[in-house]
Amino acid sequence: MDIRPLWLASLFLVATVAGDGASAQTHNIPSLPIWSVPEVGALPDDEHGRLVRRGRDLVTATYAHIGPVVADPAKRYAGNNLACSNCHLNAGTKKFGIPLWGLKDQFPNYSWEAGHEITIEDRLNSCMTRSMNGKPLPNDSAEMKAFVAYINFLSTGVQPGEKLSGLGEGKMPYLKRAADPVRGKAIYARSCASCHTPSGLGLRRSPADPSLGYMVPPLWGPDSFNDGAGMATLTTAANFIHFNMPNGTSYTQPRLTQADAWDVAAYVISQPRPQRAGLDKDYPDLLHKSADTPYGPYADGFSQRQHKYGPFGPIEAAIKRLKAQKAAPADKR
């Protein structure tokens, strides 16, 4: 059989679907095999359009609107001068750059870290208090409404229950050994210091005015994310770095080897940063605490160092055994 016509037909289909993305989204045509990020600029200049644009501004220039040195003290919610988009790359639209798309239907969901069900506002405030080292935004604040409007807009055309690919920061296999911060230090000097500076404190747009944010964000130090942030765990940092750094890297063409990404991430998380009080209250059910959580308490007998740098395989196996032990007597009842 000559398969060429089929092949041509499928090419044509892809092109059509991609080209029709915008109108399909606005007219709510069901289930398409290709979803593309909706365009903020195409929104009308009405109340909703302005709210979504405001949300995008808050994501890309957080420091300018709710940073720790903004003019109005009542708006100083963030504790550092980062932007959400320093981690949620391209305003939350980059595949495996921790995108903010397709989240509308993923919340509310149960969080083992919190020990209860959380809403999208709760999840966002987890980044406010950890990644941004600040205070939670009230749910009814203008800023929270704008953030949520933008995040929901990024779900335009996503079908209920549909989970888009590219969420999170990618997933490399674990290293069999512990990640090595000493080896990571040399990788940092070679591959990161040229942008993030040798001190790791980043490069401000203006040394005199922190409210202008960073050209290159800090990776540690007083103006960085705190020790309770997702980026302070080895697995998240290593995957994010592998699939996105040096900045501009695409997940299709990583530039660091996997081992180099694990080790340089170990170096980054070994450096000093703000400390969050009450982290021992995270994961009230310790059997559901991720093996790579760098702070205790723990239900397994492994050291804090192994929880921070790995290897995680033996920890996960031990947790699995503990869960099975706990389940066994309950089953007999």
Interface residues with ligand HEC (CB under 6 A)?
62, 82, 84-89, 98, 100, 103, 106, 123-124, 127-128, 131-132, 147, 167-169, 191-192, 194-196, 216-219, 225, 229-231, 236-237, 240-241, 245-247, 256, 264, 268
List residues bridging with 216 in a β-sheet: 203
- C-beta of 45: minimal distance to ligand HEC in Å? 24
- 113, with CB counted inside 10 A (0-12, 13-18, 19+), is middle
Query: How many Cβ atoms from other residues are within 10 Å of residue 166's Cβ?
Result: 15
List residues bridging with 204 in a β-sheet: 214
Nearer to ligand HEC, 24 or 217 (CB): 217
- C-beta of 21: minimal distance to ligand HEC in Å? 22
Nearer to ligand HEC, 59 or 315 (CB): 59
Nearer to ligand HEC, 169 or 300 (CB): 169
- C-beta of 151: minimal distance to ligand HEC in Å? 6
Nearer to ligand HEC, 25 or 131 (CB): 131
- C-beta of 168: minimal distance to ligand HEC in Å? 3
- C-beta of 234: minimal distance to ligand HEC in Å? 12
Nearer to ligand HEC, 87 or 149 (CB): 87
